[in-house]
Homo-oligomer: A and B are copies of this chain.
Amino acid sequence: MPSFPAARATMPPLPSKSPRLKRVTLADIAARLGVTKVTVSRALNQPEKVSDVMRERVRECAHELGYMPNRQAGSLASGRSQLIALLIPSLSNAVFSELHRGLEAPLAARGYQLLIGHTGYSMEEEERLIETWLSFGVDGLVLCGSRHSKRAIEMIARSGCAVVECMEKREAPLDMAVGLDQHAAGRAMTEAMITRGHQRIGLMAARMDQRVEQRLGGWQSALEAAGLTQDYLMTTTAPSSVQLGSELLAEMLQRWPELDAIFCCNDDLAAGALFECQRRHIAVPADIALAGFNGLEMTRSTCPPLASVVTPRRDIGARAAALMLARLEGDTDATPSGHWEDLGFSLQTGGSL
């Protein structure tokens, strides 16, 4: 692996940064225009409450001076920050970036800014982030999953902050919830495999977060209902990756050569398993069937395309945003505390079943 040289340098003394000029504030504009700060504030934030000429003069002056509002001051005074924090387990998992996409547009449309925190699948880190964002005065919190530390729950309760819990079925949410039944999804995919005639169906799981455990439960109950063995179970708490999928496949085949299908608890694992099959010239699905979970874009392009459970993560984000907005904009009856929604899922059979 050839490596290419790194370099570093510092440019000749550039014209040093202009000394941090004093911030332009409402008062500056007011002074320049011979009016009071209130008028300026109104001209900018409640334009209808001010005369047309005033409004224009203020705007022009603000632009000229390069005025930039100080939102900390604004939030402090008003008690509302227009900030909503989304806490996700992982940034690199496409599932969460799509959840984020679903949330962002509707929130932005109403003037809310979405903050992202990533917990690394740790409840402690989640607690830390909740504390951080609450102390920055977020108006709302969007969490993943249903398990949170006791202290996190207390802090949230005390703050009175709106909360939507995402991704799982959650019949008694902290506040509101949108998700899908991960257990049912795991069961449905397993049943689909059984329907296709597979009998020795293994399960491969990594990370073992809350949702993976629910999927695993679904796999178990489907097998149990069909009177099939639940012995072919390979789990690890290591982070999921494509490479890990290849490794786990190798290990499972060695331990249980009789396997005729493997349900991988996410698409990365499934892809890795598929690649390993290609390396070993094991035909998928003729020799062994594979399925993943989430239905990421990639699963539709592999050779063959991977079966997967398609989860509506983008819709989940969109609904979470809607609930949050309804709550925040006072439409409180539409979204009482305790409200939850199950957005379902669908099966993509691909070519690997």
Q: Which of A8-16, A52-60, A255-263 contacts B (4 or more CB under 8 A)?
A: A8-16
> A157 at interface (Cβ–Cβ under 8 A)?
yes
Task: Name the distance in Å between A255's Cβ and chain B's nearest Cβ.
Answer: 21
Knowing A92-B94, A171-B11, A301-B272 are in contact, say whether A18-B157 is a contact too (CB < 8 A): yes
* Interfacial chain B residues near A345, Cβ < 8 Å: 3-4
Pick from A10, A339, A345 the residue with the most CB of B within 10 Å. Answer: A10
The total of chain A residues at the interface (CB under 8 A) is 93
> A283 at interface (Cβ–Cβ under 8 A)?
no
Q: Are A337 and B17 in contact (CB under 8 A)?
A: yes
Q: Are B68 and A11 in contact (CB under 8 A)?
A: no
> A20 at interface (Cβ–Cβ under 8 A)?
yes
Q: Which of A37-45, A131-139, A207-215 contacts B (4 or more CB under 8 A)?
A: A131-139
Q: Are A175 and B116 in contact (CB under 8 A)?
A: no
Q: Are A8 and B344 in contact (CB under 8 A)?
A: no
Selected from B7, B73, B157, B338, the residue in CB contact (under 8 A) with A10 is B338
Q: Are B272 and A344 in contact (CB under 8 A)?
A: no
Q: Are A301 and B246 in contact (CB under 8 A)?
A: yes
Selected from B9, B98, B116, the residue in CB contact (under 8 A) with A92 is B98
Q: Which of A198-206, A219-227, A237-245, A285-293 contacts B (4 or more CB under 8 A)?
A: A237-245
Pick from A3, A92, A115, A338 the residue with the most CB of B within 10 Å. Answer: A92
* Interfacial chain B residues near A348, Cβ < 8 Å: 1
Which residue of chain B is the closest to A16 with respect to CB atoms? B337
Q: Which residues A42-97 have CB closer than 8 A to chain B?
A: 66, 68-73, 75-76, 81, 91-92, 94, 97
Interface of chain A, main secondary structure = mixed
* Interfacial chain B residues near A16, Cβ < 8 Å: 337
Docked complex Cα distance between A175 and B135 (Å): 30
Task: Name the distance in Å between A303's Cβ and chain B's nearest Cβ.
Answer: 4
Docked complex Cα distance between A131 and B276 (Å): 48
Chain A residues packing against B (C-beta within 8 Å): 1-14, 16-21, 66, 68-73, 75-76, 81, 91-92, 94, 97-98, 100-101, 113, 115-116, 118, 131-132, 134-137, 154-155, 157-160, 171-172, 175, 184-185, 188, 192, 241-243, 245-246, 268, 271-272, 275-276, 278-279, 297-298, 300-303, 310, 336-349
Interface pairs (25), CB distance under 8 Å? A3-B345, A4-B185, A5-B342, A8-B340, A8-B342, A9-B339, A10-B336, A10-B338, A10-B339, A10-B340, A13-B338, A17-B157, A21-B158, A21-B160, A68-B134, A68-B135, A70-B135, A91-B100, A92-B94, A115-B115, A242-B298, A242-B301, A243-B297, A271-B298, A278-B303
